Structure 1
Amino acid sequence: MDYTIFAVAIFLIAVLVFGGVFLIRPRRPGVTDEKPTAEVKDEAAATGTAVAEPEEREAAGGVETAEPEAPPAAAPAAPELETPPPSAGRLVRLRARLARSQSVFGQGLLSLLAADKLDDDAWDEIEDTLITADVGVTSAAQIVDNLRTKVKVHGGRTPEEVRDMLRAELIAHIDPDMDRGVRTEPHGDRPAVVMIVGVNGTGKTTTTGKLARVLVGDGRSVVLGAADTFRAAAADQLETWGGRVGAPVIRKDEGADPASVAFDAVARGVDDHVDTVIVDTAGRLHTKTGLMDELGKVKRVVEKKSQVDEVLLVLDATTGQNGMRQARVFAEAVNITGIVLTKLDGTAKGGIIIQVQRELGVPVKLVGLGEGPDDLAPFDPETFVDAILSTD
């Protein structure tokens, strides 16, 4: 027997037995075949490979999972539009404010007429009071002559009789028969076009915004044209007014051609089938002929798209005779159809209503009686006179 072969066989069997023991030894609790996380990450950093987190490795070997979707971000809420009051009754609601501002004018006349003795000096004082209130020299003389005649005819002068006489005379000179409606109704497929003109400082842009509120309050749709391109703040101001009531504003860069802005505004009004387009023009100095010519150009360019229904001149009631000079120059440059008298609540010079209508033949259509957004009101002669003669 070859003992060498037998010894080799024994050796091989021993190697196989002991090697199997190490290969199939049981795992100790808590020990895995994976490398520690820190070690794996260090190795990944050295080799430039990506390391999956335990959750990702588990998902890779089983059911695929997805991150929960974040809820969509809520859209910002649109600003709530304001609902302005209608134009009807506005002047009546503002009557107390008007009475306070014009009491010096009205009550002064009443006290003079109710005096026991009305001699020439008293009548001269009445006439001076009228002139001081910007009624105008010619109108003041006519009012005094008519009152003197009525006093002689009626004889006795109770407070009620004096008030009735003065009321009738003032209403007659303001002329209640003048057409004071602002033409804002569309015609066919074309919107009504209203141009707002006037010098700087009269409240022109503010009047444009307030007029938009009046029309929206009456159920009209409006587009605003920011044709005052010489003052960027004017367009910004107009956008604030328009944004409150949902009226879009057409504007261009500062220094752009005002006529092109006005034309684009009217074109937008035609495309959107709106009722009224209001164009705010630059505050033109009445002494600058070139600027006045440009105002005429704006009107001509707009009329290529739609007729201009109203050209409203904004006058500051506190400027007195200077306001009259402005009115005359504007009337020569463009066909003024109506007057907007602003700041009437801060002056006792309401007589300018009589003077401007007499000299231009143009009615006062709107009056501004405060700084509030809804303080612009259609003008009514009887309500105005009753307010200034009120004893409440």
Structure 2
Amino acid sequence: MSSVALLVLLVAVVGIALVALVVGLLVSGRRKPAPLPDTHSDVLTTPPADPEAPTELSAPPVTIEPEVEEPPTAPELERPEGTASRLVRLRQRLAGSQGSLGRGLLALLSRDRLDEDTWESIEDTLLTADIGVAPTQELVERLRTRLRVEGEGDPRTVLREELVALVDPDLDRRLQVSGEDGTPGVVLVVGVNGAGKTTTVGKIARILVAEERSVVLGAADTFRAAAVEQLATWGERVGVDVVRGEEGADPASVAFRAVQSGAERGVDTVLVDTAGRLQNKQGLMDELGKVKRVIEKQAPVTEVLLVLDATTGQNGLIQARVFSEAVAVTGIVLTKLDGSAKGGIVVQVQRELGVPVKLVGLGEGPDDLAPFDAGAFVDALLG
């Protein structure tokens, strides 16, 4: 073969190869890409586990402990004040509020000459102190005799002795808080609205607790929800149970259940708070008598305490008479005696009812209620 023919054959082969290459590139460019695997398929194919691969340790399950609520802490009980310190405060409070009466009388009696004008001034001073007409006349006559006729020298000593006699130290002022034959003592507390009756019940409970007596309170003032809640608060503070009823319930029924509860528990004393009565409402006074009668189906009422606001003066005496007729009052509690009250009301109310003042309220504090002591009262008057 000639060299010319060989050259032509080589060019032809190269040309064919180039054409084939171009055609192959065009075809591959038109092909569609392979579809990606469907990651949203409902069934995923999991490759078989490699038996030689190390086992992955799973974390232990976490146990969640349920929250346990701690029981509520019982309120710390208060320790009421004893009788001795109450009497000390009685002297201090009364000396501050009532001392002007004693000082005025001593100034008059210490004059060089006790003439008629002086005795009239003494009488006026006693009357303005709410001692009352009859007791005032008796006291002035006794002072005249001892200081002017008999010539006894120390006006202060004479005045103290006569005032103590006027207040009557021989009256039995003990609270009858004990029952007989295993029954509790039952103390019925009565009085008009606003005199401090419910507060007095709570304060008496504190006195009894201080004497280590067991007590149950009866919230028979069912017409005032606030009175029931107030009494419950007093009871909680010293650990005393309170028997209560629904608002508007029969007071006699609540009082009956309170005494029944006290008898079943074997407590020493049951204190029953009653609704505040208006002395001119005969129906309400009759209901108060019913409360007492119902209570006595369980146990005798050992004490009926009438709470009087010492600042009411003559109106307090009217209240005292009406209550005494309804429930046979056995003792008086004079509240607010440390304020603007006139100390002579002690003498008047005892003369009016023939029953002693047994407790006096000296302020707003929880232990500002003290047993009445004639000597301490007069000493406070005289400063």
Normalising by structure 2, report the TM-score.
0.83
* Partner SS for 1:356: helix
The aligned residue for residue 109 of structure 1 is 105
Q: What code does the residue aligned with 1:125 have?
A: S
* Partner SS for 2:247: coil
Aligned counterpart in structure 1 of residue 318 of structure 2, from 314, 322, 325: 325
Aligned counterpart in structure 1 of residue 238 of structure 2, from 234, 240, 245: 245
* Partner SS for 2:305: strand
Structure 1 residue 370: Cα displacement: 0.5
The aligned residue for residue 75 of structure 1 is 71
* Partner SS for 2:234: helix
Q: Say if 1:105 and 1:348, in contact at 8 Å, map to a contact too.
A: no
CA distance in 2, matches of 1:88, 1:223: 24
The aligned residue for residue 176 of structure 2 is 183
CA distance in 1, matches of 2:167, 2:329: 18
Gaps of 5+ in 2: 1-38, 45-56
CA distance in 1, matches of 2:43, 2:246: 62
CA distance in 1, matches of 2:274, 2:229: 14
Q: What code does the residue aligned with 1:90 have?
A: R
CA distance in 1, matches of 2:210, 2:350: 28
CA distance in 1, matches of 2:244, 2:313: 33
Q: How does 1:210-229 map to 2 (within 5 A)?
A: 210-229=203-222
Deviations 1:296-351, CA, capped at 9 Å, x for gaps = 00000000000000000001110011101110111111110000000000025111
The reply to whether residue 261 of structure 1 matches residue 254 of structure 2 is: yes
Q: Say if 1:103 and 1:348, in contact at 8 Å, map to a contact too.
A: no
The aligned residue for residue 341 of structure 1 is 334
Between stretches 112-121 and 271-280, larger displacement belongs to 112-121
Deviations 1:269-292, CA, capped at 9 Å, x for gaps = 011111110000011000100111
CA distance in 1, matches of 2:189, 2:75: 27
Structure 1 residue 355: Cα displacement: 1.0
Identical-residue share of aligned pairs (%): 64
Tell me the matched-pair count: 333
CA distance in 2, matches of 1:319, 1:269: 35
Larger Rg: 2
CA distance in 2, matches of 1:360, 1:85: 30
Between stretches 114-123 and 233-242, larger displacement belongs to 114-123
Structure 1 residue 361: Cα displacement: 0.8
CA distance in 2, matches of 1:43, 1:287: 94
The aligned residue for residue 292 of structure 2 is 299
Aligned counterpart in structure 1 of residue 127 of structure 2, from 125, 131, 147: 131
Q: What code does the residue aligned with 1:280 have?
A: D
Aligned counterpart in structure 2 of residue 170 of structure 1, from 146, 160, 163: 163
Q: Say if 2:90 and 2:376, in contact at 8 Å, map to a contact too.
A: no
Q: What code does the residue aligned with 1:102 have?
A: Q
Q: What code does the residue aligned with 2:175 have?
A: V
CA distance in 2, matches of 1:58, 1:185: 75
The aligned residue for residue 24 of structure 2 is none
The aligned residue for residue 288 of structure 1 is 281
Deviations 1:196-226, CA, capped at 9 Å, x for gaps = 0001111001100000011001101111111
CA distance in 2, matches of 1:106, 1:190: 45
Q: 1:259 to 1:348 in 2, by over 3 A?
A: closer
* Partner SS for 1:345: coil
Structure 1 residue 69: Cα displacement: 2.5
The reply to whether residue 202 of structure 1 matches residue 198 of structure 2 is: no
The reply to whether residue 389 of structure 1 matches residue 358 of structure 2 is: no
Structure 1 residue 107: Cα displacement: 1.1
The aligned residue for residue 151 of structure 1 is 147
Structure 1 residue 89: Cα displacement: 4.2
CA distance in 2, matches of 1:258, 1:341: 24
Q: Where do 4+ consecutive residues of structure 1 move more than 4 Å?
A: none
Q: What code does the residue aligned with 2:292 have?
A: K
Structure 1 residue 103: Cα displacement: 1.3
Gaps of 5+ in 1: 1-37, 45-56
